[in-house]
């Protein structure tokens, strides 16, 4: 039976969840979305039903979070509770039903990003862990680790700096570039602590995306199709016909022949009659 990190949502049955829950974690720019987009069709080609989900995608809270972020009017406690609402709604309405139906659930970030973002903004770590203790324990968490030096050019030459991803609510006196460096350095340090606590499988995200994907495919295949990757049992060495013939002939030559039966001559009387 599946387990949570502590609590269980009221009325949620934890039995009969045969699907697999696979998490890709990492900061923005680490390549999570790229890998999700590569992994989902690959798994579907193997014959698996796949649900991909991620932060702010719940019907209940997703739009509200996006509107609040646009106006920059989220307090830190409100922000944490808003994101927790989004996660729990997706857990109850999407993730658990998909697992019950045997789907592979690929999630672009999980509770770890939510905790890391809140903790670096000064929220109590114990409180954050309590909020998200209803989360299911995943089958695997792949942390796409990337350093600030590799992250900067990816962001600069793609979408540019974002207000929230640059931590401008934390460092209002800095320009957006300095804010990005300060915030991401703090966030990456928190991810390292979470990686040790929750036993993430660390993947070098600075490598080529195809190489990262090949590594992820190998690891995921071990989870969803262990029979496919299980090493075959060694077969006994084949014995040639000539070898068998030689062994049989040698046994015959070395065998001691059985003694011949003794023949008793009939006793003859004096006149030659028996």
C-alpha to C-alpha distance for 19 and 49, rounded to whole angstroms? 9
**Residues near 6 by beta carbon (within 8 Å), at least 6 away in sequence:** 129, 130, 133, 134
- Asked whether the beta carbons of 27 and 188 are under 8 A apart, the reply is yes
**Residues near 28 by beta carbon (within 8 Å), at least 6 away in sequence:** 155, 162, 165
| Residue written as token pair 């090949």 | 214
In-domain check, residue 198:
yes
Nearest-10 Cα torsion for 64, 69, 70, 74: 100
C-alpha to C-alpha distance for 169 and 236, rounded to whole angstroms? 67
Name the strand (E) or helix (H) holding 141. strand 140-145
Name the strand (E) or helix (H) holding 21. strand 20-25
CATH number at residue 108: 3.40.50.300
In-domain check, residue 265:
no
In-domain check, residue 42:
yes
- Total number of domains in the chain: 1
The number of residues in the chain equals: 274
Tokens for 2? 């599946």
In-domain check, residue 142:
yes
Of 53, 41, 37, 38, nearest in space to 96 by CA: 53
With 0-12 CB in 10 A as exposed, 13-18 as middle and 19+ as buried, what is 26? buried
In-domain check, residue 115:
yes
Q: DSSP assignment, residue 255?
A: S
What is residue 17's three-state secondary structure? coil
In-domain check, residue 182:
yes
pLDDT in 10s for each residue of the chain, 274 residues: 899 999 898 888 888 999 999 999 999 999 999 999 999 999 999 999 999 999 999 999 999 998 888 877 678 999 999 999 999 999 999 999 999 999 999 999 999 999 999 999 999 999 999 999 999 999 999 999 999 999 999 998 887 888 888 888 888 888 999 999 999 999 999 999 999 999 999 999 999 999 999 999 999 999 999 887 665 556 666 555 556 566 656 666 665 555 555 555 555 555 555 4
In-domain check, residue 87:
yes
**Structural domain boundaries enclosing 44:** 20-229
In-domain check, residue 252:
no
Q: What share of the chain is helix, strand, coil (3-state, %, to 5)?
A: 50, 10, 40
**Residues near 32 by beta carbon (within 8 Å), at least 6 away in sequence:** 24, 25, 26, 108, 109, 144
Tokens for 75? 């307090």
Beginning with the edge strand found earlier in the chain, give each strand of the sheet holding 50-54 in spatial order: 50-54, 104-108, 20-25, 140-145, 201-204
């Amino acid at each position: 039976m599946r387990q949570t990190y502590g609590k269980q949502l009221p009325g949620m049955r934890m039995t009969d969840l045969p699907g697999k829950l696979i998490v890709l974690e990492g900061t923005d720019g680490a390549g999570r979305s790229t890998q999700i987009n590569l992994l989902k069709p690959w798994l579907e080609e193997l014959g698996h039903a796949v649900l991909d989900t991620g932060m702010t995608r719940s019907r209940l809270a997703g739009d509200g979070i996006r509107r609040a972020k646009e106006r920059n009017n989220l307090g830190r406690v409100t922000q944490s509770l808003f994101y927790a609402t989004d996660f729990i709604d997706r857990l109850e309405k999407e993730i658990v039903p998909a697992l019950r139906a045997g789907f592979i659930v690929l999630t672009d970030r999980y509770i770890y990003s939510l905790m890391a973002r809140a903790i670096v903004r000064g929220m109590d770590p114990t409180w954050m862990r309590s909020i998200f203790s209803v989360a299911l324990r995943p089958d695997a968490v792949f942390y796409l680790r990337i350093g600030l030096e590799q992250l900067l050019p990816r962001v600069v030459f793609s979408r540019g700096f974002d207000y929230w991803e640059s931590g401008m609510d934390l460092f209002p006196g800095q320009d957006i570039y300095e804010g990005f460096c300060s915030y991401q350095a703090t966030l990456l340090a928190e991810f390292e602590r979470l990686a040790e606590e929750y036993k993430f499988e660390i993947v070098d995200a600075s490598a080529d995306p195809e190489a990262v994907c090949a590594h992820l495919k190998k690891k995921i295949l071990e989870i969803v199709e262990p029979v496919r990757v299980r090493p075959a049992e060694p077969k006994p060495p084949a014995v040639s016909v000539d070898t068998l013939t030689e062994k049989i002939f040698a046994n015959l030559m070395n065998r001691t022949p059985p003694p011949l039966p003794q023949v008793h001559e009939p006793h003859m009387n004096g006149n030659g009659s028996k």
